[in-house]
Amino acid sequence: MRKHPWGWLLGAIWTALDVALVAAYSTGAVSGSTFVFLGLCLLALGAIAFTFGSQMNEPDETVEQMLYDTEHTDRKRTA
């Protein structure tokens, strides 16, 4: 859990929104078509959160790679 706090946070928010939607449908606060629409919105929100979380946890280039490239580029220039 310590390695992926944003993933856990987004997952908890998404789950809370899903529970709130089911509770609203079960009490009759929303109709069936609204329930389906909001369910699709939550699915899209979950996909966006998953994609964002995946990119945050696995960036294209790490800091170590950037420092290595910078160091070796500088050495080539001075040699």
Cα R_g (the chain), whole angstroms: 22
CB atoms under 10 Å from CB of 21, counted, come to 18
| Number of domains making up the chain | 1
Angle at 53 between CA 47 and CA 59, to 5 degrees: 125
pLDDT value at residue 5: 74
Q: What is the mean pLDDT of the chain?
A: 78
Work out the pLDDT band at 48, boundaries 50, 70, 90: confident
Question: pLDDT of 9-45, one tens digit each?
Answer: 877 888 888 888 888 888 888 888 888 888 888 888 8
Work out the pLDDT band at 51, boundaries 50, 70, 90: confident
- Is the confidence at residue 74, as pLDDT, over 80? no
- Is the confidence at residue 54, as pLDDT, over 80? no
Which residues constitute the domain of residue 66?
Answer: 5-78
Distance CA 54, CA 49 (A): 8
